[in-house]
Structure 1
Amino acid sequence: MIMISRCLLAGTALAVALGVAGPAFAADPAPADQAPATPAAPPSPPSQIVVTAHRLDTARESIKPSLGASVYTLGEAAIQNLPGSDNQPIQDIILQMPGVSQDQFGQFHVRDEHNGVQYRLNGVIIPESVAVFGQTLSPRLIQRLDLVTGTLPAQYGLRTAGIIDITTKSGLKDSTTVSLYGGSHDTIEPSVQLSGSSGASSWFVSGDYKHTGLGIDNVTGSNTALHDKSNQFNGFGYVDRIVGDSDRISLTGGYTNQHYQIPNPPGQIGSQTDFAGNPVSVGGVTQFPSEALNEQQLQTFGFAALSWLHSAGAFSSQVSAFGRVATLDYRPDYTGELLFNGTAQYASKRVVSVGAQLDSAYKLGDFHTLRFGGLINQDRAISYTDTAVFQTNADGGIFGAPALLNDFTDVAQRSYSVYLQDEWHLVPHVVLNYGLRFDEVDGIRDERQLSPRINLVWSPPGGFTGHAGFARNFSPAPFELVASQNLAQVAGTTAAPQASLDVASYAQRENYWDAGFQQKIGRHFSFGLDGFYRTLTHMVDEGQFGAPIILTPFNYAKGRIYGVELTANYAKGGLSAYGNLSYDKAQGTQIDSNQYNFSAADLAYIANHWIYVDHNQTWTGSAGASYHWNRGALDGTRVSADMVYGSGLRRDETAPDGSNVPNGSALPGYVTFNASIGHKFAGSGYDVHIDVQNVANAVYEIRDGTGVGVGAPSFGPRRGFFVGVSKTF
C-alpha cells in the first residue's frame, strides 16, 4: 500500500541517547608471557549495534523533515506487492504516486513540470545522468521511497518539482537473494542481493542484468518493435560502520551500463534530391528503407557518496562528499540518416561532477528546532560531435558530396547553496516552519537568488492535518543537458536552423503557493486534497531536437502551472488499496533561449500566445490494490493489481486556415491495467510470481511526434506475461 503522509510531524524532535552504550572495541592483545594491565573490553553485543544503528537512522531522518510539504511514501513491502515488484523500472513505480504523469522514453513529470526532480539517497543528493531513457537506480536498493512535493522547506533547492528521497536497504540482517525474471519481449533478467554485518559494520549489495527486445518505446502500436534490443547492467553497494554511539560512516555507490538500439518505423523510404531535382547518392545509395536503419545509443552512469553522520544530545549533522561520471554516445546510421534527414550526427558527451553537502539540526528547547546546511558542486561537461551534412545554395538546394563537420565543447559550472530554517511550535498542534535559502550558479550564466520559504501546519486531535505554504524557488537548467550550436559552422548546409538566435538557458524562478489537508477516518481509511498555484519566470522546458536521444533545455519567458490532487488509502489486515487523481494545467509564452531549435512559425506564434506545454496532461490517475493471505491453505499467497490513467499529452493542431498551432490539442486518453499473483513458500525461501502487463492489451500512444520539442512518436508496451522466481538464503 502507498502510505500517504501530508505534513509529517512525527519524528521532528531530534533523537537523544537511548541509554544504551555504543560499541566497545577490544584492546590489542598482550604478549602471551605478559598479563594485560587492564582487561580487554568485551565485544559489543549485536543488539547494541542494531539499537545504535536504528537511533542514528532516526537522527538522520530528523535532519530532513518535510514540514508543510506533501509527502507520499512507498515501502519495500509495498513495492513487492506491485505487479512487477522490484523487477520493473523505478519510474514505473513512481507513476503510482499522486500528480505523476507518464511520458516517452521512461520520463515522468511531477505536477506538470518537465524536469525539476531531485534524487537523494539517505539524504545525499545524487547528480543527474545525461541519459533520457533507462534507469540509474534500481528498485532493489529501496527500503523506503518518499516523493516530496509542494512548498518545500528551505533545505530543498535547485530541483523543486519533486524530491525522490530514497532510504536504501542496509545489512542489519544477513541475507542472500537470487532471482530470475523474464517473459514477453524477449525479456530475461537475473539479479542478486546480498546483505550482512560483522561487528559494527554492515553492507548491502545488489546487481542485475537485463536483456529485452523492447528497450525503448515502440514507434508503432504493434506487439513487437523493430530494431529495439537492449542490454543493461545495474549495480549498487552500501556499506557503513558505527563509530562509538554517536557516529556512523557510510559509503554509497552505483554503476549502470546500458546499450540501446533505436527502434525503426517500418514502410518508409529515405531519399534526397539536389537543386536540379536529381536523386542524391550517398556511397552509391539513393534510396534507404527505414527497416534497415541501424542507430544505437550507449549510456553509463557511476556515482559514489561518502557520508559521516553525527548525533549527540540536541545536535545532529550529516556531511557528505559525492561524485558522478555520466557518459552518452550516439552512433548514427550515416547513410540512412543523410537520406532521410539531410544530416547525420555522431554525438559523445561526458559529464563529471564533484561536490559536498552539509545538513544539520539543533533542538533549542521544546519550541524551536534550527536546521541549516549548504551545498557546493562543480560540474564539467565535454561534448564532441561529427555532423555529416550537404552543402546548400541560396534557395536551400543540395549540391555536392556530404561534408563532415567537427565540433568540441568543454564547459564548467559551479553552484553554491546555503539555508537556515526554524521549526517553531507556536501553540499545541500548530507548527510554523520558515526559513531562507540562497543559491548561486556560476557557469554559462552567473545567476543567484535569495528564496524565502514558509509553511504552517495544523494537526488537531481527530486525525485531521492541514497545511498552507509559500516558497520562492530557483532552478537552473540541467547543466548536464545544456548544449549550444555552432551556427556559423552549419550555415549554408542542411543542418542550418531557421532561427539564428542562440541565447543561453536561464535559471527558472517561481512563486509557489500550496494548501491542503489529510483526514483519517477510523484506523483504516484516509483521504487528502491538495491544491497549488505557481507563477514562473524563464520557465524551463526540454525538447529532443535531433536524432540523438539527448534532451536540450530551453525557456519560456513566462509560465503558469496550477492543479489539485485527490488521494485515498485503505488498509486492514491483508488488504490494502489506494487511489489518486490529479487535475493540472501548465502553460507558457515566448521562448527566450535556444531559439535556433524551433521553426520561425512556432517562435512567432508562441511569442504572442499562451500555449500548453507539450508535457501538460489535464487528468492523471493511478490506483491499486493487493491482498496477502497469512493463514489457512493460502498462507503466503498474494494477489495485486494496479492501473495508470492519462487524458493524453499535447500535440500540434492544424487551424482552419491551415496554420500550425503548437501543442494546440491533446492525444487520446488511455488507461492500462497490470496484475500479479504470487506465493512465498514457507521454510524453503522460494518466492514465485506471475505478472501480466497491460492486461487488456490496450494500444495507447504516448507521443505522436508533433509538439514543441517532441522528436519522435512512441507507444506504450502491449500485453506481456512475465514469471519471476527468487530464492532467499
Structure 2
Amino acid sequence: MRVPVRPLLLLIPFACAGVACPGARAQTAPGATPQDTVVASTLPDRPEQITVRLDLARAGLQSDTGAEVYRFGPSALRTIPQGDNTPLNQVLLQAPGVAQDSFGQIHVRGDHNEVQFRLDGVQLPEGLAVFGQSLETRFAHDLSLVTGALPAQYGFLDAAVIDIDVKSGSNSPGGEVSLYGGARDYLQPSLAYGVASGRWDLFVTGDFLHTRVGIENPTSTFEPIHDLSNQYHGLAKLTFTADADTRLSLVAGVSDAEYQIPDNPGQVPGLGLSYDGITGFDSRNLAEHQKEITDFGILSLQKVIGSLTLQSSVFTRYSSLYYSPDAVGDLLFDGISQTAARSVMSTGSQTDAGWRIDDSHTLRAGEQVFVERNVSSTHSVVSPQTGTDDAGNPVFGSTPLSIDDGSGKTGMVYGLYIQDEWRILPRLTINYGVRFDGVSEYVSATQLSPRVNVVWRPTWTTTVHAGYSRTFTPPPFEQVTSNSIGSFVDTSAAASVLRNDRVQPERDNYFDGGVDQIVLQGLHLGLDAYYKQAANLIDEGQFGAPIILSAFNYAHGEVHGYEASTTYDRGPLSLYANVAWSRAIGKDIVSSQFDFTAGELAYISNRWIHLDHDQRWTGSGGAACSLFHRTDHPLRASADLVVGSGLRADGEVPNGRALPGYYTINLAFVQSFGSLATRGTSLRLDVLNLLDRRYIIRDGSGVGVGAPQYGLRRSILAGITQRF
C-alpha cells in the first residue's frame, strides 16, 4: 500500500524494538543507522543477510527527520493500474499535493518542476527530457516521495525528492517476460532477470513501448492525429560484496524515445506570411518530430566501519533533445521553422557519511559536485522583413532566410552539508544542520543555508513536527544568449522585447508543520501545512514550436498550502485518500524577458499573478483488495481516483482563470496462477479513465504555455506475465 511515513515513524525503534511496524523503511526508521535495530546488529554473515544489513546501513544515510515522506512499497507498485508499466509520473499523482501537467510533468506543492531523483540514495543531475520518463517504475523495488522542510543533505532541487530503491537480484530474483498492450496500438513487451550468487548480485530489465498517444492530444477526440511514439528503456545493476562491511555497485540506464508532435486540425496561419508563394497550410498535415535520449551510470562504494557508514559515488548522465520542424507549416504558423538540438553531459560525485556517536547523536555530512557541459545548435528559417505598410505593420518577403546559431558552456554546481540528529528526550528529536551551495555556470552565486526540524511525540500514537529550511536552487543549465535574439531582428521571428537578463538562482525560506495520528491499528491520519517565500522564483515555459522548456524568474514568489491524508491497511484490504489545497503566486518577471510581450511584463511588474501551474485543489484516492490470497491463484482488484480543480489559463489578466475541474477513475484486475514448473503466470486487465471523462489539462493560453492538451480518453489494456 501507499504509506505516509511521517515523523511519527522516526521514533519507531523505541516502540517496535526491531519489529516491522507499518510504514517503516526496511524495518528501521528513516535516518537511523543499522545499529538502531536489534535485527541489523545480530545478523549472521550469510550473503543474503549481509545484503539486508548493508541496505539498512545505506538507508540510514538518508535522513528524513521532520520531512513528509510518502512511500510506495513493492505491493503498491504491483497493485496500481498498469503495475510496472505505469509511467512514474502517474504513480506519483497518488501522493498528497502532486498535480499533473502536460508532457508528463508533475508539480509538488505548487512548485514547477524542482524535483530531484535519487537511485539508491545518489542524486542524478537534471536532464533535458521533456516528454518521456527516462526512469521507469519497473526499475523500482520501492520508492518514496520526500517533501516539506528538507534536512540539510538535500540540495539543488528542493520541491521534492523521489528516492528510488533499485531492484536487485536479491530482492527480485528470477526472471519474467511480459507482453502488455491494447487501445491505440499500445504495445509494450518487457523482460527482467535477477540473480544473486555468492558475492555477486545482478539485475537487468528492459522494455519497448509503441503507442499512438505519445504526447497529450491537443483535442478532446478519442484518436489523436500524428502522435506515434516508439521508446526503449533499460537498466542494469551489478553489485559485488567484498566482505561483510564493503560493497561496490554499478547502476547503468538508457532511454531512447522518438515522438511525433500531435496535430490540432482546423487551425489557420494568421501571420500573413508566405513560403515561396505558399500562404495556406492544413494544420492536420503538420509533420513535427522530437527525439530524446538519456544515458546514465552510477558507481558507488559503500563501507561500514563500526558506527560509521560511508557511501561515495561517481556518476555521469548524458541527455540530448532534437526537434525536427515542418519546414513550411512551422514558418507559416509560428514565423519560424527551427531545427533545434541540445545536449547536456554531467559528471560528478556524491559522498554521504553517517556516524552514530551515541544513543542521542547521529552526525551526518557529505558533498555533491556536478560538472556540466551544455551544447546548443539551431538552424532557423524565417521570413525577412522588407518594409512596413501604410499602417506601420511589418511586411515580409516570400523568400525564406536561414539563420544558424550555436553555443556551448561548461559549468559547475556544488554543495556541502553537515547535520546532527539529536534525540534530546525519548520523545523529542531535533535535526539541525547547514548547507553551503554554489553555482558557477551562466551566473555565479553561493548561499549558506541553515535547516532545522523538530519532532515531538506526546503519545505513542501522536506525532507533531515543525521545520524550517533555507534553500538554494540553481537555474537550469540552458540559456538563450542576447546575440541569438539580435539575429532575428527584422524577421518574422523577432521578439517584441529584446531584453534578456540571465536566470538567477532561486532563494527560499520554507516553513512546514503538521501532525500524524494512528487512529487504530492500520489506520493513519495526517495533516500538514507549509509556506514558501521565494526570491527569484524559477518557473519554466514552452515558448515557440520546439518543445523545449525555458526558465525565467519572478522577482518575488509565495507558495502555501494544506494537506490531509489517510491510509488504512489491514489484511487483504488497503485504502488511501489525500486532499490538498495550494496557492502559488509570483510578481515581476526579471529574466528571459524576450519570451514575453511588453504588455505582459508591464502588468506583472507590480501585480501578483497565479503561476500557470497553480491548482487550487488536488486529490487522490484508491482501494485494493486481494481475493483468494491464501491460495495459489489470488486475484487482486484495485481502483484509483485522481481529482484536480484545474491549472491556470489567461483570462482578463495573465493566468487569470482556472480551467475546469476534472476527475478520472482507473481500474485494475490481476489474476495469478501458481505453477510447479515455473514461478507462476499473471494476467492483467486495466481500464484507464473508466468513465471516459473528457478533460482539459491546458487550453494553450497562460504564461509560458504553448499548446492545448487533453487528458487520455478511456483505454483498455491487458497483459500477461510469465515468471521463471
Whether these two folds match at TM > 0.5 is yes
Q: Residues of 2 paired with 1:62 and 1:106: CA distance?
A: 32
CA root-mean-square deviation: 1.4
Given candidates 554, 557, 574, the residue that maps to 1:556 is 554
Counterpart secondary structure, 1:401? coil
Given candidates 22, 26, 34, the residue that maps to 1:15 is 34
Query: Which residue number corresponds to residue 192 of structure 1?
Result: 191
Q: Residues of 2 paired with 1:50 and 1:215: CA distance?
A: 41
Given candidates 344, 365, 371, the residue that maps to 2:337 is 344
Given candidates 632, 646, 658, the residue that maps to 1:648 is 646
2:216 pairs with 1:217: yes
Query: Which residue number corresponds to residue 31 of structure 1?
Result: none
Output the TM-score relative to the length of structure 2. Answer: 0.94
Q: CA deviation at 1:668?
A: 0.3
Given candidates 699, 702, 715, the residue that maps to 2:697 is 702
Q: Residues of 1 paired with 2:689 and 2:585: CA distance?
A: 31
Query: In the alignment, is the contact (CA less than 8 A) between 1:337 and 1:344 conserved in 2?
Result: yes
Q: 1:327 to 1:670 in 2, by over 3 A?
A: same
Q: Residues of 1 paired with 2:438 and 2:475: CA distance?
A: 13
Output the TM-score relative to the length of structure 1. Answer: 0.93
The letter for the 2-side match of 1:127 is: P
Q: Residues of 1 paired with 2:490 and 2:703: CA distance?
A: 25
Write the mapping of 1:111-510 to structure 2, written as runs, cut at 5 A: 111-172=109-170, 174-270=173-269, 273=272, 280=274, 282-392=275-385, 393=387, 395-479=393-477, 481-484=478-481, 486-510=484-508
Q: CA deviation at 1:132?
A: 1.0
The letter for the 1-side match of 2:555 is: A
Query: In the alignment, is the contact (CA less than 8 A) between 2:110 and 2:559 conserved in 1?
Result: yes
Q: 1:497 to 1:246 in 2, by over 3 A?
A: same
Q: CA deviation at 1:426?
A: 0.5
Q: 1:371 to 1:631 in 2, by over 3 A?
A: closer
The letter for the 1-side match of 2:662 is: Y
The letter for the 2-side match of 1:155 is: Q
**Structure 1 residues without counterparts, runs of 5 or longer:** 23-47, 275-279, 655-660
Q: 1:573-628: per-residue Cα shift (whole Å, max 9, x none)?
A: 10001000000000000000000000111101000110000000000000010001
Given candidates 536, 539, 542, the residue that maps to 2:537 is 539
Q: CA deviation at 1:635?
A: 4.6
Query: Which residue number corresponds to residue 657 of structure 1?
Result: none
Q: 1:634 to 1:358 in 2, by over 3 A?
A: closer
Given candidates 638, 651, 663, the residue that maps to 2:655 is 663
Write the mapping of 1:2-151 to structure 2, written as runs, cut at 5 A: 2-7=2-7, 8-9=9-10, 10-11=28-29, 12-16=31-35, 18=41, 22=45, 48-151=46-149
Given candidates 559, 568, 581, the residue that maps to 2:579 is 581
Q: Residues of 2 paired with 1:273 and 1:534: CA distance?
A: 45
Query: Which residue number corresponds to residue 599 of structure 1?
Result: 597
Q: 1:307 to 1:4 in 2, by over 3 A?
A: same
The letter for the 2-side match of 1:3 is: V
Q: CA deviation at 1:487?
A: 1.9
Q: 1:389 to 1:180 in 2, by over 3 A?
A: same
Counterpart secondary structure, 1:119? strand
Query: Which residue number corresponds to residue 25 of structure 1?
Result: none
Q: CA deviation at 1:284?
A: 4.6
Q: 1:102-147: per-residue Cα shift (whole Å, max 9, x none)?
A: 0001100000100110000000011122011110011111111110
Q: CA deviation at 1:313?
A: 1.1
2:716 pairs with 1:721: yes
Q: 1:87 to 1:21 in 2, by over 3 A?
A: closer
The letter for the 2-side match of 1:15 is: P
Q: Residues of 2 paired with 1:677 and 1:452: CA distance?
A: 48
Query: Which residue number corresponds to residue 25 of structure 2?
Result: none
Q: Residues of 1 paired with 2:214 and 2:237: CA distance?
A: 28
Q: Residues of 2 paired with 1:18 and 1:6: CA distance?
A: 25
Q: CA deviation at 1:350?
A: 1.1
Q: 1:245 to 1:682 in 2, by over 3 A?
A: same
Q: CA deviation at 1:462?
A: 2.8
Query: In the alignment, is the contact (CA less than 8 A) between 1:122 and 1:168 conserved in 2?
Result: yes
The letter for the 1-side match of 2:88 is: I
Query: In the alignment, is the contact (CA less than 8 A) between 1:574 and 1:630 conserved in 2?
Result: no
Q: CA deviation at 1:539?
A: 0.1
Query: In the alignment, is the contact (CA less than 8 A) between 2:472 and 2:508 conserved in 1?
Result: yes
Query: Which residue number corresponds to residue 673 of structure 1?
Result: 665
Q: CA deviation at 1:548?
A: 0.8
Counterpart secondary structure, 1:596? helix
**Structure 2 residues without counterparts, runs of 5 or longer:** 11-27
The letter for the 2-side match of 1:255 is: V
The letter for the 2-side match of 1:343 is: I
Q: CA deviation at 1:13?
A: 3.7
Q: Residues of 1 paired with 2:559 and 2:112: CA distance?
A: 11
Query: Which residue number corresponds to residue 33 of structure 1?
Result: none
Q: Residues of 2 paired with 1:460 and 1:15: CA distance?
A: 26
Counterpart secondary structure, 2:184? coil
The letter for the 2-side match of 1:82 is: I
Q: CA deviation at 1:21?
A: 6.3
Query: In the alignment, is the contact (CA less than 8 A) between 1:15 and 1:313 conserved in 2?
Result: no
Query: Which residue number corresponds to residue 16 of structure 2?
Result: none
Q: 1:143-174: per-residue Cα shift (whole Å, max 9, x none)?
A: 11110000000000110000000001110153
The letter for the 1-side match of 2:321 is: L
Query: In the alignment, is the contact (CA less than 8 A) between 1:63 and 1:316 conserved in 2?
Result: yes
Query: In the alignment, is the contact (CA less than 8 A) between 1:637 and 1:680 conserved in 2?
Result: yes
Q: Residues of 2 paired with 1:229 and 1:374: CA distance?
A: 42
Query: Which residue number corresponds to residue 685 of structure 2?
Result: 690
Write the mapping of 1:604-623 to structure 2, written as runs, cut at 5 A: 604-623=602-621
The letter for the 2-side match of 1:5 is: V
| Length, aligned pairs only | 691
Q: Residues of 1 paired with 2:629 and 2:272: CA distance?
A: 73
Q: 1:200 to 1:343 in 2, by over 3 A?
A: same
The letter for the 2-side match of 1:233 is: Y
Counterpart secondary structure, 1:288? coil
Q: Residues of 1 paired with 2:324 and 2:42: CA distance?
A: 61
Q: Residues of 1 paired with 2:267 and 2:138: CA distance?
A: 41
Q: CA deviation at 1:633?
A: 7.7
Q: 1:68 to 1:20 in 2, by over 3 A?
A: closer
Q: 1:1-28: per-residue Cα shift (whole Å, max 9, x none)?
A: 2011112414344224745665xxxxxx
Query: In the alignment, is the contact (CA less than 8 A) between 1:271 and 1:287 conserved in 2?
Result: no
